[in-house]
């Protein structure tokens, strides 16, 4: 541990301004190290340390060039309150090589210090000098050139060699495009002679022009002037050690040039501005350095275009994150079945926020790249939002369809069949027009009104769900809804027809069952012939009502859209009519069966059998009650009557169709196969499915087991009557 402490103290001597050895504790960054590697922490420093990342173009870059140990770092630290490494007095050892960067206190100025460039003094190769000069020229608006007064006029000095390099690399960078000039800000140090700064400056200027003219320029730039590329300013500083106070006064003056935009000497003029926004700055430096270090041709416009693409992509991705989040949360709501009332305006806002967020950053980059990316972003965003639109419309279609169904159903329930029929028979020509003049609901009026409401609803939802600039088409959705409604209409219509036919039967049940009961009670030998004839008669009496009803339900034309393959709607609707009629015959037959079943329940049949027996046994053929005498053959009479009564059981046990063959009228109707079933299977899609009658099961009224049971009970009762009769004879004899 003691070792550690001594190590850290010795190190902190090398870094006079730093209070600790931890390189992360101060804001300075070694951008390029001795190995000429670029420090990728740069972007983090731009964001977190220097807080310039979101500054757009509102930041400036200054670099310093000059011979080794001419007090460059000292000047920068004095000027910008930075912490660059300064050679300790007395120890003529080199400070850490590389390129350093820091933000000047309370300004948006990034300061670049180049260390160890002066290879020629140490006899090293001048590679790093050239590379760092190139790098500085590429990114700095202002380059401070630091030189001692006693070097002024020494044309062959190290400074001039450096400046020659600067001019050369500058031609490389800006020869082809004059996108920016550079300010060379000369600071003449240790100005102790009485010679004025102006005179010193003019001497340096002459040297500069000489260097420029002697520069071997490419032919195309042969006539270019030094001042086409550079502006040049001169200032001087007193000797820092001998005239410290004056030195700092001079520094104060220079500070004004760098920080007071309204002063005439302000250095960061627009014509020096490099066209790289702060958020792309570190990436730009990285790619520029990469070119420099690999000795590739450095073409700044190309670098900037590449940067534009890179950054515009990055910015696009970054604005898509919050966008996707809000789309996801809206989608979750829609998935739960909601129809969101302000979807359109919400989406509109989202589009604007997203595009604006993108533009705010990306518009600083190349216009073409930016415009292209913005369009791409818009397409992406609109594409995603369209999914919301489609899902919302899907919900709306579901809602519209289910409301259509429930509203129609409840209205159809209200249709009063009898008043409908009576009003229909008054004005049969007005049937298909929906409501009859008497204001009675009709099927077609209900479904047409509700269809309109459903389509109106969808239109409304589309209106508040659409984004103006996209103006999505929704014809397909409307068609979709229409198809759904068609399907529902067919179902509603089928169910309504069935329900109405049922109602019609129910309304006539009492009347019909009276007729049937009479026949069953009298139990004639042609019982079933009479019952079936009564059934046919009932059908005929109701057929007019049925036809009216069918007509009031509209033609199948209502539903034709759902069946576009149908080539012959005429035969289709005829087939359907036949189907409906057959359905009615079945319903009425069901009713007949039900009436028979009820009329022949256990009690009723017992009663009927007993009645039959009594009729035969206790009454004379003229219908006079019989007084038994001892001469009467009670036994044989009992047997005959009993046989007659019991024989009723098999007669009642099933609806017997065998009589149909013998009856011409029945033969022509019931004998027809199509009477209960349509002749051919119907190709139309209709929910009027016919119940199949299996005659063996369905026509049976009393099972054989039941018959035996009833027979037993009947005989018991009959026997009681027989015994009563016997007893009455005995008692009369004994009187």
Q: Which residues are annotated as a binding site?
A: 66-73
Question: What does 83 interact with, of ligand GDP, Mg ion, none (CB < 5 to 8 A by kind)?
Answer: none
Distance, CA of 499 to CA of 320 (rounded, Å): 57
CA distance 376 to 355: 11
Interface residues with Mg ion (CB under 5 A) are 72-73, 115
Q: Which is nearer to Mg ion, 95 or 182 (CB)?
A: 95
Q: How far is the CB of 295 from ligand GDP (least distance, A)?
A: 26
Phi, then psi, of 438 in degrees rounded to 5: -80, 5
Classify 66 as helix, strand or coil.
strand
Q: Which is nearer to Mg ion, 72 or 484 (CB)?
A: 72
Q: How far is the CB of 29 from Mg ion (least distance, A)?
A: 15
Residues marked as binding for GTP? 66-73
Q: Per-residue DSSP letters for 415-470?
A: --HHHHHHHHHH-GGGGGGSS-TT----HHHHHHHHHHHHHHHHHHHHHHH--TTT
User: Closest separation between CB of residue 49 and ligand GDP, Å?
Assistant: 22
Paired tokens of 294? 């690999």
Quote the least distance from Cβ 267 to ligand GDP, whole Å: 20
Report the phi/psi class of residue 216: left, alpha or beta, with left for phi > 0 and alpha for psi in -120 to 50. beta
68 binds, among Mg ion, ligand GDP, none (CB under 5 to 8 A by kind): ligand GDP
How does DSSP assign 103-150, residue by residue?
Answer: EPTTSSEEEEEEES--HHHHT--SHHHHHHHHHHHHH-SEEEEEEEGG
Q: Which does 239 bind (CB under 5 to 8 A by kind): Mg ion, ligand GDP, none?
A: ligand GDP
Structure tokens at 664: 């011409």
Nearest partner of 111 among 100, 121, 120, judged by Cα? 100
The nearer residue to Mg ion, 72 or 240, going by C-beta atoms, is: 72
Report how far residue 702's alpha carbon sits from residue 405's, in angstroms, rounded to the nearest whole number. Answer: 42
70 binds, among Mg ion, ligand GDP, none (CB under 5 to 8 A by kind): ligand GDP
Query: How far apart (Å, rounded) are the C-alpha atoms in residues 728 and 624?
Result: 17
- Residue nearest to Mg ion as judged by C-beta position: 73
> Is residue 231 within a helix (H) or strand (E), and if so which, with residue range?
strand 230-236
Selection from ligand GDP, Mg ion, none that 347 binds (CB < 5 to 8 A by kind) is none
DSSP state of 88: P
Q: Provide, rounded to whole angstroms, the least separation between the CB of residue 11 and ligand GDP.
A: 17
Shortest gap between Cβ of 91 and Mg ion (angstroms)?
14
In angstroms, what is the minimal distance from the CB of 85 to ligand GDP? 7
What is the C-alpha to C-alpha distance for residues 675 and 69, in angstroms, rounded to an integer? 119
- CA-CA-CA-CA torsion sign (29, 32, 37, 38): positive
* Cα dist from 137 to 46, 181, 182, 183, 299, whole Å: 20, 10, 7, 10, 13
d(CA 505, CA 507): 5
> Which of 68/436 has CB closer to Mg ion?
68
Of the pair 74, 530, the CB lying nearest ligand GDP is at 74
Q: Give residues in contact with ligand GDP (CB under 6 A).
A: 68-74, 86-87, 89, 95, 189-190, 239-241
Pick 240 or 581: Cβ nearer ligand GDP = 240
User: Which C-beta is closer to ligand GDP: that of 92 or that of 367?
Assistant: 92
Tell me how far, at minimum, the Cβ of 194 lies from ligand GDP, in Å.
18
Instruction: Kindly tell me which of 89 and 294 has the beta carbon lying closer to ligand GDP.
Output: 89
Q: Taking CB within 5 to 8 Å according to partner kind, which of Mg ion, ligand GDP, none is near residue 240?
A: ligand GDP
- Give the DSSP letter of residue 234: E
Query: Any idea what DSSP says for residue 104?
Result: P
């Amino acid at each position: 541990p003691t070792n550690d402490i001594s190590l850290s103290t010795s190190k902190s001597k090398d870094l006079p301004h730093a209070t600790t050895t931890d390189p992360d504790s101060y804001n300075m960054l070694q951008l390029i190290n001795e190995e000429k590697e670029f420090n990728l922490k740069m972007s983090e420093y731009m964001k977190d340390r220097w807080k310039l990342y979101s500054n757009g173009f509102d930041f400036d870059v200054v670099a310093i060039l000059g011979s080794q140990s001419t007090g460059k770092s000292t000047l920068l630290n004095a000027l910008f309150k930075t912490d660059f490494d300064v050679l300790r007095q007395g120890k003529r050892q080199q400070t850490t090589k590389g390129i350093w960067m820091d933000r000047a206190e309370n300004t948006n100025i990034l300061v670049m210090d180049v260390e160890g460039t002066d290879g020629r003094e140490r006899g090293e190769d001048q590679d790093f000098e050239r590379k760092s000069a190139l790098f500085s020229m590429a990114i700095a608006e202002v380059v401070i050139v630091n030189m001692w007064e006693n070097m002024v006029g020494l044309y062959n000095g190290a400074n001039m060699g450096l400046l020659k390099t600067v001019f050369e690399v500058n031609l490389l960078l800006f020869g082809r495009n004059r996108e920016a000039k550079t300010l060379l800000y000369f600071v003449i140090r240790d100005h102790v002679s009485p010679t004025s700064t102006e005179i010193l400056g003019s001497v340096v200027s002459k040297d500069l022009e000489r260097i420029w003219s002697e520069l071997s320029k490419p032919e195309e730039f042969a006539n270019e002037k030094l001042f086409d590329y550079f502006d040049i300013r001169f200032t001087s500083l007193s000797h820092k050690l001998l005239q410290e106070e004056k030195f700092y006064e001079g520094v104060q003056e220079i500070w004004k040039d760098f920080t007071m935009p309204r002063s005439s000497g302000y250095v960061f003029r627009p014509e020096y501005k490099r066209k790289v926004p702060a958020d792309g700055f570190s990436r730009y430096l990285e790619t520029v350095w990469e070119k420099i270090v690999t000795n590739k041709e450095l073409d700044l416009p190309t670098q900037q275009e590449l940067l534009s693409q890179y950054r515009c992509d990055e910015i696009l991705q970054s604005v898509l994150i919050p966008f996707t989040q809000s789309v996801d949360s809206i989608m979750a709501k829609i998935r739960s079945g909601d129809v969101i009332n302000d979807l359109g305006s919400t989406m509109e806002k989202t589009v604007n926020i997203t595009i604006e967020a993108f533009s705010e950053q990306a518009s600083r980059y190349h216009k073409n790249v930016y415009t292209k990316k913005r369009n791409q972003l818009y397409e992406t965003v609109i594409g995603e939002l369209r999914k919301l639109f489609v899902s919302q419309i899907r919900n709306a279609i579901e809602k519209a369809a289910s409301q259509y169904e429930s509203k129609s159903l409840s209205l159809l329930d209200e249709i009063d069949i009898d008043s409908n029929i009576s009003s229909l028979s008054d004005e049969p020509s007005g049937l298909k027009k929906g409501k009859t003049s008497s204001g009675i609901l009709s099927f077609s009026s209900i479904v047409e009104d509700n269809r309109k409401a459903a389509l109106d609803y969808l239109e409304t939802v589309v209106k508040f769900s659409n984004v103006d600039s996209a103006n999505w088409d929704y014809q397909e959705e409307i068609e979709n809804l229409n198809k759904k409604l068609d399907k529902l209409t067919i179902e509603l219509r089928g169910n309504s027809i069935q329900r109405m036919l049922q109602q019609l039967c129910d309304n006539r049940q009492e009347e019909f069952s009276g007729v049937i009961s009479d026949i069953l009670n009298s139990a004639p030998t042609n019982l079933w012939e009479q019952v079936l004839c009564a059934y046919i008669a009932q059908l005929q009496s109701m057929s007019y009502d049925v036809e009216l009803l069918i007509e009031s339900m509209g033609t199948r034309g209502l539903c034709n859209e759902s069946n576009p393959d149908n080539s012959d709607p005429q035969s289709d609707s005829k087939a359907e009519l036949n189907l409906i009629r057959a359905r009615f015959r079945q319903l009425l037959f069901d009713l007949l069966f039900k009436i028979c079943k009820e009329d022949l329940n256990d009690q009723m049949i017992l009663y009927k059998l007993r009645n039959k027996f009594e009729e035969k046994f206790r009454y004379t053929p003229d219908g006079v009650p019989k007084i038994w005498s001892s001469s009467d053959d009670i036994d044989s009479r009992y047997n005959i009557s009993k046989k007659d009564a019991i024989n009723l059981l098999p007669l009642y046990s099933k609806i017997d169709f065998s009589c149909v063959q013998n009856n011409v009228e029945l033969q022509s109707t019931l004998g027809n196969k199509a009477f209960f079933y349509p002749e051919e299977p119907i190709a139309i899609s209709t929910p009027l499915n016919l119940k199949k009658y299996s005659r063996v099961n369905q026509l049976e009224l009393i099972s054989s087991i039941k018959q035996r049971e009833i027979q037993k009970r009947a005989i018991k009762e009959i026997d009681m009557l027989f015994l009563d009769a016997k007893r009455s004879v005995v008692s009369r004899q004994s009187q």
